[in-house]
Amino acid sequence: MQAKTLKSLIADHGVSFDAATIMNALVKTGHAEVFQYPSTTGSGVMKSFKRLTDQAEHLGVNKASMGHPFKTEPKFYAETFADLLNVVVCQLHEETAALAAAREGLEAV
C-alpha cells in the first residue's frame, strides 16, 4: 500500500477535518504519540513531533524525516483512510458526549 500525507488524503477525499485535528484525535485514542527530543542545536530546548503507535499500523506508517535520523513523519494509507476517519469521529463523539453530560450536570445544580 502506498502511504500519503494527511493533507494529500484530505484534499483527495474532500474531508472537512484538518490534519491537526486528525492527529490530535489519534493522540487521544493512542493511535499516535507525541515524542520529545532535545534540540540538535545544543540549546537544551526540548522539541517534539507526532508519530504513529503500533495500534495504528493498519492505518499508516512512520516515514523517516530528512535531516534527522530519529525523527519521523506519519504517512497514511488511502485504503484505510475511512477507518482512520472513523477513529477520529468516534473520539470527537466521545468528547461531545462528555461535554453534554458536564453541561447537564451543571444545569442540575
Model confidence pLDDT, tens digit, residues 35-64: 998 887 878 899 999 999 999 999 999 999
Q: Which residues span the domain enclosing 97?
A: 3-108
**Which pLDDT does position 106 carry in this prediction?**
74
Kindly give, in sequence order, each residue whose CB lies less than 8 Å from that of residue 64, ignoring residues fewer than 6 positions away: 71, 72
In the predicted model, what is the mean pLDDT of the chain?
A: 93
In what helix (H) or strand (E) does residue 105 lie, and over which residues does it extend?
helix 81-108
Q: How many CB atoms lie within 10 A of CB 62?
A: 20
Domain count, the chain: 1
Query: Which of 16, 7, 10, 25 shows the shortest CA–CA distance to 92?
Result: 25
Residue 49 and residue 72 in contact, taking contact as beta carbons nearer than 8 Å: yes
Binned at pLDDT 50, 70 and 90, residue 84 comes out as very high
Q: Give the predicted TM-score (pTM) of the model.
A: 0.88
Sheet holding 3-4: strands in order across?
3-4, 72-77, 60-64
